[in-house]
Amino acid sequence: MFTKILIANRGEIACRVIATARKMGIRTVAVYSDADKDARHVMMADEAVHIGPAASRESYLVADKIIAACKQTGAQAVHPGYGFLSENAEFSKRVEEEGIIFIGPKHYSVGAMGDKIESKKLAGAAGVNCIPGVNDAIDTPERAVEIAKGIGYPVMIKASAGGGGKGLRVAFNDKEAFEGFTSCKNEARNSFGDDRVFIEKFVEEPRHIEIQLIGDSHGNVIYLNERECSIQRRHQKVIEEAPSPFISDATRKAMGEQAVALAKAVKYQSAGTVEFVVGKDQSFYFLEMNTRLQVEHPVTECITGLDLVELMIRVAAGEKLPLTQAEVKRNGWAIECRINAEDPFRNFLPSTGRLVRFAPPEQTMFQANTTDWFGVRVDTGVQDGGEIPMFYDSMIAKLIVHGIDRNDAIAKMREALNGFVIRGISSNIPFQAALLAHPRFVSGDFNTGFIAEQYGKGFAAEDVPHEDPSFLVALAAFVRRKSRERAATLSGQLPGYGVRVGQDYVVVTLAQGGNNAYTPVHVDEFVGETGSARVRVGAASYEIRSNSRINDVAITGTVNGQLFTAQVERGTPKNPLALRLQHNGTRIDTLVVSPRMAELHALMPHKAPPDMSRYVLSPMPGLLVDVAVVPGQKVQAGERVAVIEAMKMENVLFAAADGVVGKVLAAKGESLTVDQPIVEFV
């Protein structure tokens, strides 16, 4: 067994590998760029080596620097994680040539299956059902349009070295095929250093189901059940679960055996995943093979009771698999939510900056631990006060739950999301909460088009209807009553001017445009010692008990005997006196005031925000990579104005209306903040 390994990655996957290595008594070496010098994976590792500037193409994607770091530290093996160089056959070959063990498949397997074009040809030759398409690299956008027409729209334009939704577009017409080809090539070049692109037919209403494999150097390959990954947004997975609520035992067995046969054909060693597109009738087609560990591997670990990273390390060291196919378990139900640094209410645009607060829910399952199950686990590469840089992926954590069955897992996940505190940047937690509550998700009736169908016009606060809106109003009054009680006990109050607590309040729910709601609330039977009170909102009555402190952001307790977790924040960017409450994905901003103060507040005129319609604003923090207009130029609605790059994704900004460019206010190469003006129209 190795005594020291290097992790050629960053973020949560680097921390995940370190956890297993530590359990196995193996020392670890982290590598880091300028942007990651204070990152969590650097602090967790036994040693750390600086490998260059923030941009991944100058640090994490430079094989020479990784190999040099191995030699410098005496690391005998390198774990690539996922992304970056994990599926680069040239890198794994060079590592092996330098006498370093690659904790992953052999370079010939990576070359055969890691390349999407070659893997399709190989799968076809092996008799595996493949989706119609052109599997050769395409040179020009004109040729891409010609091929797309020949296959028939819609088509999928994919980077050969792609993964994680990068370098992938679906085109429904010639214009989209032309533009999608160019964007795919650019994203593929920047993310993977390989700009080859191919085209295949896009199967409508498909399910994305993948089989987890593990193989050793003794010719043994087994499959570890499947994962359902159909809940996707722009081809990036949002929620993954194991097992799938859709496929039958017979389909599972057929998919698993076909995946194993494919792996054996390329002498596959290590962990890998064969992805399938599955039709309504449970017919399945080979999509691609990921020759690495997957982001969503924890759900498989939960239901099988295995540590996949440990298996990878043991296989790489030459050990035989410790179990047979017949010994693979399927126990309970696991769900993973990807917690991303993005704003769901601003069309999911990346959100970067300082994590002012990062407090995940309490964990009862842990990475590398194969004894504690049926709980909550958080895989992350960040910590309180850390920085979310613009240079890398938007995922900041993975929230994993393991339940007795699917309904139990959904309930656990909803409660865990309620207690996940993230401040300083926006996250997609409200969106995840909405998905988990959606009747079609709960019933298991969905496909890869689910999010596009249900949230085609974007995601808004109204898309998260709370099952009991009055509870949030009651909770706001309860929290305010608690703070008033404390204020009344402070010493030094002038006689006749002391804080009077009172029982009657009005909860003002603040709304855009000044259309606020005013709800009378009565609080009685308050007992500070037990943290309990009865709150009446109209005809509804809530007995709330909570021992959480006034300054706690996540508060727990019971309401009418039922457990709850909610978040309460004092002060919002627009109103320092407001209380912001979050529960089950719904967020409201409130003022809890006396009835007289509510009367006066209702008379306050609403101040409208300034008109910014003449400007093209940056919708997110990012790098301005192109400005396509000049002063004096006439621009039509829908015309390309600028391109911003953040978190490895290109975002094109278009003119909202016809106009003439007055000024260009930001220069190419500039780092932009949210709502920074780029172009002004006259």
CB 160 within 8 A of CB 116: yes
| Over residues 541-555, mean pLDDT | 91
Distance of CA 551 to the CA centre of its chain: 28
- Whether a cis peptide bond, with omega within 30° of 0, leads into 621 is no
Name the DSSP class of 42: H
The predicted structure's pLDDT at residue 281: 84
The predicted structure's pLDDT at residue 575: 86
Query: Which pair of structure tokens corresponds to residue 255?
Result: 């998919």
The CA distance from 587 to 572, in Å, is 12
pLDDT digits (tens, 9 = 90+) for 340-366: 999 998 888 888 888 999 999 999 999
Q: What is the mean pLDDT of the chain?
A: 91
From the list 270, 295, 308, the residue with the least C-alpha distance to 20 is 308
The CA distance from 526 to 537, in Å, is 15
The predicted structure's pLDDT at residue 362: 94
From the list 627, 593, 597, the residue with the least C-alpha distance to 506 is 593
Distance of CA 674 to the CA centre of its chain: 20
The per-residue DSSP string of 419-459 comes to T-EEESS--SHHHHHHHHH-HHHHHT---TTHHHHHTTT--
| Prediction pTM value | 0.84
The predicted structure's pLDDT at residue 295: 96
At residue 325 the predicted structure's pLDDT band, cuts being 50, 70 and 90, is: very high
| pLDDT higher than 70, residue 322 | yes
Left (φ > 0), alpha (ψ -120 to 50) or beta: where does 205 sit?
A: left
| pLDDT higher than 80, residue 135 | no
From the list 309, 289, 368, 363, the residue with the least C-alpha distance to 118 is 289
pLDDT digits (tens, 9 = 90+) for 179-195: 999 999 888 888 888 88
The CA distance from 300 to 244, in Å, is 11
The predicted structure's pLDDT at residue 499: 73
Does the active-site annotation cover 204?
no
pLDDT digits (tens, 9 = 90+) for 258-303: 999 999 999 999 999 999 999 888 888 898 899 999 999 999 999 9
The predicted structure's pLDDT at residue 484: 83
CB 591 within 8 A of CB 577: yes
Residues counted in the chain: 682
The per-residue DSSP string of 361-403 comes to PPPSS-TT-SS--SSEEEEES--TT-EE-TTS-SEEEEEEEEE
Query: Which pair of structure tokens corresponds to residue 304?
Result: 């099988």
From the list 536, 512, 511, 518, the residue with the least C-alpha distance to 526 is 536
The per-residue DSSP string of 233-275 comes to ETTEEEEEEES-SS--HHHHHHHHHHHHHHHHHTT--EEEEEE
Q: How many CB atoms lie within 10 A of CB 90?
A: 14
**Which entry of 288, 296, 342, 650 is annotated as an active-site residue?**
288
Considering the chain, what percentage of its residues have pLDDT values greater than 90? Answer: 68
pLDDT digits (tens, 9 = 90+) for 87-122: 999 999 999 999 999 999 999 999 888 677 778 788
| Over residues 66-79, mean pLDDT | 97
Query: Which pair of structure tokens corresponds to residue 649?
Result: 């994704």
| Over residues 485-509, mean pLDDT | 82
Helices 308-316 and 11-23, packing angle to 10 deg: 70
**Alpha-helical regions (H) of 36-88:** 40-44, 63-73
The predicted structure's pLDDT at residue 648: 67
pLDDT digits (tens, 9 = 90+) for 597-650: 999 999 988 888 788 888 999 888 888 999 999 999 999 988 889 999 877 677
Domains of the chain, start order: 4-103 (3.40.50.20), 133-201 (3.30.1490.20), 207-455 (3.30.470.20), 469-487+502-602 (3.30.700.30), 615-681 (2.40.50.100)
From the list 241, 273, 593, the residue with the least C-alpha distance to 403 is 241
- E strand or H helix that includes residue 680: strand 677-681
